[in-house]
Amino acid sequence: MRIFIAGASGAIGRHLVPQLVARGHEVVGTTRSAAKTGALRALGAEPVIVDALDPDSVADVVARAEPEVIVHQLTALSGPADFRHAKKMAAATNRLRTVGTDHLLAAARAVGVRRFVAQSNALWMERAGGPVADEDGRLEPNPPKDMEESVAALRHLEETVTSISWADGIAIRYGAFYGAGTDISAAPDAVMAGLIRKRRFPIIGDGGGVWSLIHITDAASATVAAIERGKPGIYHVADDDPAPVRDWLPDLARALGGGPPRRVPAWLVRLVAGKGPVNLMTQARGIATGKTKRELDWTPSYPSWRTGFTEGMS
């Protein structure tokens, strides 16, 4: 198939492009930066530069590409992680998940795209219920005030994409990424890994929030499966070992060569950084992937972060 990847130079795009090319697909990949076109070409994609928030620019590059499938992997989550400015950091991504999604969908419909796959995430599953949510679960309806816009943007993306009638609309809720090209890797410039090594990414409160994690190559392989044989709706993509932050973060710190993470009282983080980070660290729920395995015939090569952290960080 001819596949258009919006955000092909991002963390998952850099793994998704070569996997698709290896399976015989033609890939057109977007980037905002002319400096990244060479890297995309080296991966096997036809690079195009586009401003995803400019509807005319999006319409033009999609019309010229004439894709059968569009994959929406646009975010703006690069740069230093700073809980004190989490809302500001997320603002650009919120726009890409709302305005950017709308522009891509309009362009897709105009050229007759038959499948549209978009990136969501699993960190804001509804807090009511057990430690793990399946694909029927909804996003948290009452998030902390400092996270309302981010959760609303995710909800807009999921509802808009999965409700289209003219193509197969698929939203993928990914677990937290780790591995080469992500912020949690062995690379010296990996931002989150650097904070963890320096013991500047603490366990907040009891650290009881359950996170699902996923190695980036597994996230890409699941996305390939969704592109090739997914049905309209929502898929969960994570490993088989959802766990509280207090369990996986010390293991990650050790794997990265850092000391044990510090512990910080929830009340202090709430005062300094807001309620959002506290909620993520103490109340998050993991995700189940039964539907994804069953319908897409997919299994992760790293079924647990316990092996992924030691074997898959480079």
Would you kindly state where each structural domain of the chain is located, as residue ranges? Answer: 2-311
- Distance, CA of 236 to CA of 121 (rounded, Å): 9
Indicate the SS3 state at residue 240.
coil
pLDDT beyond 60 at 213:
yes
DSSP 299: -
Predicted local confidence at residue 38, as pLDDT: 96
Classify domain 2-311 by CATH number.
3.40.50.720
* H/E run at residue 68: none
Q: Is the dihedral of CA 251, 193, 180, 9 positive or negative?
A: positive
Q: Considering the entire predicted model, what is its pTM? A: 0.95
Q: What is the mean pLDDT of the chain?
A: 95
- pLDDT digit string, tens, across residues 151-207: 999 999 999 999 999 999 999 999 999 999 999 999 988 989 999 999 999 999 999
Pairing of strands 46-49, 26-31: parallel
- Distance, CA of 193 to CA of 228 (rounded, Å): 33
Crossing angle for the helix pair 148-162 and 86-95, to the nearest 10 degrees: 20
- pLDDT digit string, tens, across residues 160-175: 999 999 999 999 999 9
Please give the distance of CA 110 from its chain centroid, rounded to a whole number: 27
The alpha carbons of the chain give a radius of gyration, in whole angstroms, of 19
